[in-house]
Structure 1
Amino acid sequence: MESGGIQESPESLALLEAAKNLNLEEIKKLVDLGAVTAAIDYETGRNALHFVADVAEKENEDSAAEIVSWLLSHGGVWNALDRAGESPGCIARRRHLAKLYDRILDAGVRSEMILALLERKEHVNEQLDTHSNYLNSVLSYTQPTTDSKSLLDSDANAVMMSWERNIMQRSAELIAPKPGCRVLNIGFGLGIIDTFLQEREPSLHVICEAHPDVLAHMRKTGWMDKPNVVVYEMKWQDAVEDIASKYTFDGIYYDAFAESYEDLRNFFDAAVGLLEPAPESTLSFFNGLGADTQTFYDVYNRLVPIDLVSFGFTCEYELMDVASQDDEWKGAKRRYWNADKYYLPVIRFEGL
């Protein structure tokens, strides 16, 4: 039987059957005979981890979790999507198998950390191309419903949407808790958080935006003429040295489109020199990491606080409901949000 053009061996197909039967000893024997733990059933697109998550019950969850751990330590693929668009973690979560889900999330965190170390240089080069393509694309401001707005790129990818409004409002409250704060925002988009920040009367409001269409919109809507606003018309990577030489901030927000998690990590590094070293100084970002799939989102929500420790930060989350209606996604190529709750990052210096 073929999977994506690959002929699975009889031993690998037998391993999938053993996974359905939660038979760890048989799985081990088949691997010794050459079976591949990442093998896929052609009809369903599922691997052994999918099948374990699908057949396990509360009564045998401990033994199923042992199988999951063994598979993951022997090449099992935690983030593979089946033909229904579900990962093994998605199935475990849907079926309320908390132990299985936790094992899969831990494997995802370990995997992402290892990949970041091994592929960092290659990934950065790839992202430079992606970001360059975005900056050269034509953006359009659309109104899919009477009370919603979207910013789309030339491929109909959603750059920002107005359903994020409540998230941006709360984020503004956290990074500018009182009048007179100095704030920095990376990525203007629809200007939602910048509008909320202006309402909070900052003494200094620095915005970094690189896309020419967004900058034209900012000029048209008067942002360049506001007395307390400083706009850097370039990528934050090109602006950060000058910004750091002139300012420190009480609150910082990051929402740059077409940038990777590695870019975000680099911004964490830069933020160490931009954020005022005070107990209430707060860094946050739009947390859409992997949010098109709940399992991937949960993995990143575990990964971020671990990574932030190396920069001297702590991270806590505020959970928020997300009000995103199907009609608001009209015209967008795909949904970038499919998670149940929004995890709002509240990042501060450790030990202050």
Structure 2
Amino acid sequence: MKSKTKTTNAANPRRPGATRPRGLRIVATNPQYGRICERAVGQTAASRPVRVFSFPSMAEVRLRPSGGATLFVSRLSDLAGLPTSTSGRNANSRQLIFLERLPVAALAARLVKLNIRNAERLHIAAEPDEPAIQMMIRRLIRGLTANDKGANAGDARIVDAWMEGDQLVLLSPQFVRLEVSLNKLGKLIGDDSHQAGSFQIDDDGRFIYWPHADVHLGWTQLRQLVDPATAIEAVRRTQIFNVRYGEAIRAVRERHGLKQSEVAGLTKRHLRRIEHGEQAASKNSLATLAVAHEMDLAAYLDTLAAEMKQNR
């Protein structure tokens, strides 16, 4: 049986001379998922061309080689009869599998044939019903084709999330996983593991919501709980932020009675450029400043954040 295809162009027309963005191929390995993927693409303002292929089963997938990204969307039962060599796969392909009604015990024999050795190319979901499956597919496609601007630019969407013991695990559209321990979440949502696992994911994947605490947290906010210095790099490159952050660094230094020349590990010129907003404060620079102020890095970053808030 031939596949059905549907192509959606990017939402915004290209400027003359602009580089055409690489396309995304979405390969559904059963007709039901094909319809779900087509609806999701039709409801998305994509930033690059998207083409949906629908096949009756994984064994019948036939694709030409492509240098672009390919997303396979399957139920576990679609993998029955899969040949050892799979068609159309490359290092840029990812596989989303829904267990549906098959037990976990059915995974091993089928996954071996996929020959996927990288966790960032595979995700297995146990959504309870068709509406939940539709929602996850929509979040994934929107995340892969997002054209976010302004405050949302560069902020990863959340495709899936689950609890592993006392760890909240998030999945990005690129299948990157972020683990946040409950002891870091506790000050925001409490330390009850049952309540921590009772969350809702926004339809577009922009945040997770905990009803019992009335708290919304997006990927960047959750990443900041894990590694504040790395998370702040997502926004530190803007000139206005660099100026305000530099002013906060100077104010905190002066309040602690430190001269620029007394910060071991940074030259006066380097620190002056940071404090004037002429240069972004790197993670290493912030760690050096924290030591000079006799603080750990997290406490120093909290102090800078409070200073910026006070002088907003």
| Interval containing the TM-score (normalised by the shorter chain) | under 0.3
Give TM-score scaled by structure 1 length.
0.25
Give TM-score scaled by structure 2 length.
0.27
Greater RCO structure (CA 8 Å; 6+ sep): 1
More helix by share: 1
